[in-house]
Chain A
Amino acid sequence: MPIIDVHRLEKTFPIKKHRTGAMGSIASLIRGDNGGEFTAVNNVSFKIERGEMVGYIGPNGAGKSTTIKMLTGILVPTSGEATIAGLVPWEKRKQLAQKIGVVFGQRTQLWWDLALIESLELLRHLYRVPEERFRENLATATDLLGLGEFLHTPVRQLSLGQRMRGDLAAALLHDPEILYLDEPTIGLDIVAKEAIREFLITLNRDRQTTVLLTTHDLDDIERLCPRIIVIDHGEVMYDGQLASLKSRWGGRRQLIIDYAGDPDAAIASMGNGDMAVTEVDGPRVTIAFDRDEISAPDVLTRASAFGEIRDMSIQEPEIEDVIRRMYDGSIPAGM
C-alpha cells in the first residue's frame, strides 16, 4: 500500500474583492468574497511508496506548497482524496502530525527566544517522545548535523545554515515515517547544502523515511530524488524517473571541441539530424548530438576532418534545461 496516495486532489481559493475599513471587513464576513475563483491545485493524483524520495517541482505559484499543505492537514482541499500513512490528513490532523515531519525552509519551528536544546526539549513534550528515544535521536542528529557547537545558542543568533540543521533535527525527533521538505536548501551556501543532502541520503537509507521535497535547486533533485513529479498551473505534467525524463526529452548531449586553430568554416553545416553544430566561437565548437543515434567517438571522428583537435569535453543534458523547456511548452506535457 502506498504511504502517500493522492487522488484527484483539487484546491480553489476565492479571489478576494478588496473592501476597506472595519465595515468593509464585516461586509466581507457576511456577504463573502465574490471575486471569482482561482484553482491552485487541479486534479492532482500520485502514489508514493514507503522509502521513496520524490522531488515535487514546478515554478513559483505552480501549486507545490498548496499540495504539501493539504497533505499535512494545514489546508482542507476543495475536492479529491488523500491518504497519508493510512490517515486522511485534514480529518486526522493531530494523529498525522505524530507521523510526519515538516520543514519549511523559509520558516522555523524553533522558538526564537530559546536555546536550540530548549526548543528541542519543548518539541519532545509536544510529540510525547520518550526520554530515551529523545536522547538517541538527539545524539544521532548532533553527530550527523554537527549541532554540538550551537546546541546552547539562542535560535535567533544562529546562522541560516545552523538554523536549518536545527530545524531538520527538530522535525525528526519523533521518528516520522514521512518527511516533507519545502525548499530545505534555500539561501544556504554550498557547504551547508551538501551537509543537508548527505544527511537526507543517510536518513532515507538507514530509516527508510519517505521524503517528499519541493525545491528550486535542481542540484537537490539530481542528488536526492530518483523520481520527480513536475507540476505547473496546478496540474501534474510529469511523474516518473528523473533519468528517463532526461533521456526522453533532454537527450541531446553536447560535445565541446577545442581545435588547435580556427576550424574549417564548413564545420557549421556538419551533421544531418543526428547531430548539429550549435555554436562556433573561434577555435571552440559546440556540437549537440543524440546519443541514441550516434556515439561520441563517431562525432569526434567526423569533427576531426575540419581541423586538428586539441581538447574536448562532453556535457550531459541539464535537468534545468529540460524542465525549463517543459514549462515553456516546447515539450509535450504528460507521458
Chain B
Amino acid sequence: MDKPITLREELGIAWKIAGIRLRGQMAYRTSFWLQIFGNFFTNFAEVLALFAMFYQFDTLGGWTLGEVALLHGISMIAFSLGDLLTVGMDSVAPQIRSGDFDRVLTRPLGSWMNAATSEFSLRHLGQALQGVLVLGFALTQVEIAWSIDKALLVPVMFISGIALFMALFTIEAIFSFWTVNGVEAINAFTYGGSDLAQFPMHIFGRSLRFIFFWIVPVGFITYYPALYLLEKPDPLGMPDWFVLLGPVITTIFCAVVSWGWNQGIRHYRSTGS
C-alpha cells in the first residue's frame, strides 16, 4: 500500500485497536468494574466538597449550587474523556526512558495516534459517569431556555473541552522528549485547570484568570458556555461573542501542541542499542 494513510483510516485503526484491547481487559471482568468504580469514588470527594460548600453558603460569586454544578459536570466530563482518549500519553515518558518508544516510530501510524493508542483503559469512565450525574443534577436545578443556538453550543463545548484536555495531557508527554525526568509542574495546569474550570472564573484573582483564559484556556470551555446557557451577565464585562472564543482558542492551542509534539519527535534521541 503506497498511499499515505488518511486521518480517517488512522481513526478507524485506533478504534479497532481499542476494541481488541478492551476485549482483553474484559477477560478480567471483576477487575474491569473495580477500576471503573474505584475511579468513580476517588473523584467523589470533589462532588462532596461542592455540596459541603453550598451547605454553608447559598451562592458563590452570585452562582447557585445548580449553576456551579453545571460547571462541574461539564469540566468533569471533558477532563475524564480527554484523559481516556490520551491514556497512552502517560506511558510516553517511561517508553522514552526504556527505548520502547522506538516501536511507536516503526509503525505506519501517526506518531501521536500511535502513542495515544499504546495504552487503553476505560477506568476514566468512572469519573465521566460522575460528571454525567452531576450535570443531570444541575439540569434539574437550573432553568435553561433552550434554543437552537444553545443546543448547538453543547456539542461544540464538549468537543473543544475534550480536545483541550487531550492537548494538555499531550504537553506532559512532549516535555519528556527533552527531559527524562517528567516535569510534574505541568500537572498544575492540567489538574489545576480542570479544578478551576469547575468554578465561575470571576471569583479568581486577575493573574490566575489571565493564565486560565489566555495561556491554558480552560475558562473558555466551561465558563463562557455556561454564562451563555444560563443567560447570566458576565461580571468580567466581556462581550457576548466571547462564547465563540472557546473553539477558536482551543484550535490554536491544539495547533501549538501539535507543533510541539512534532518538534519532540524530531528531537527524539532513542537510547543506546
Contact across chains for B108 and A97 when beta carbons are under 8 A apart:
yes
For the residues of B in contact with A, the DSSP-based class is loop
Flag A91-125 by CB within 8 Å of B: 1 or 0 each.
01111011010101011010101100010011001
**Which 7 A-B pairs rank lowest in CB-CB distance, beginning with the nearest?**
A97-B108, A25-B179, A74-B105, A125-B16, A102-B106, A98-B108, A94-B108
Partner-contacting stretch, out of A65-73, A191-199, A220-228, A279-287: A65-73
> What count of chain B residues pass the 8 Å CB interface test?
35
Residues of A within 8 A of B4 (CB): 92, 94-95
Closest Cβ of chain A to B159, distance in Å, is 26
Contact across chains for B106 and A97 when beta carbons are under 8 A apart:
yes
A220 to B100, CA, bound (A): 25
A91 to B103, CA, bound (A): 17
14 contacts between A and B (CB under 8 A): A22-B183, A25-B179, A25-B183, A28-B178, A65-B273, A74-B106, A74-B268, A102-B106, A104-B102, A109-B103, A111-B24, A122-B20, A125-B20, A183-B273
Contact across chains for B102 and A126 when beta carbons are under 8 A apart:
no
Report which of B17, B100, B105, B183 forms a contact with A72, defined as CB distance below 8 A: B105
**Given contacts A22-B185, A28-B179, A128 and B9 within 8 Å (CB-CB):** yes
Residues of B within 8 A of A113 (CB): 24
Interface residues of B (CB under 8 A from A): 1-2, 4-5, 9, 13, 16-17, 20-21, 24, 99-100, 102-103, 105-111, 175, 178-179, 181, 183-185, 266, 268-270, 272-273
Residues of A within 8 A of B9 (CB): 128
| A29 touches B (CB below 8 Å) | yes
Interface bracket on A: 35 or more
Contact across chains for B108 and A126 when beta carbons are under 8 A apart:
yes
Contact across chains for B13 and A97 when beta carbons are under 8 A apart:
no
Residues of B within 8 A of A60 (CB): 273
| A61 touches B (CB below 8 Å) | yes
| A13 touches B (CB below 8 Å) | yes
Contact across chains for A75 and B17 when beta carbons are under 8 A apart:
no
Closest Cβ of chain B to A101, distance in Å, is 9
Residues of A within 8 A of B107 (CB): 97, 126-127
A106 to B102, CA, bound (A): 12
Residues of B within 8 A of A114 (CB): 20-21, 24
For the residues of A in contact with B, the DSSP-based class is mixed
- Residue of chain A at shortest CB distance from B110: A94
Residues of B within 8 A of A13 (CB): 269
Q: A65-B273, A74-B270, A102-B106 are in contact. List 10 more A-B contacts (CB 8 A).
A: A29-B178, A73-B106, A74-B105, A75-B270, A97-B106, A109-B103, A111-B21, A111-B24, A126-B13, A182-B273
Contact across chains for B17 and A122 when beta carbons are under 8 A apart:
yes
Flag A32-76 by CB within 8 Å of B: 1 or 0 each.
000000000000000000000000000011000110010011111
Contact across chains for A121 and B183 when beta carbons are under 8 A apart:
no
Residues of B within 8 A of A93 (CB): 105, 111
A29 to B263, CA, bound (A): 13
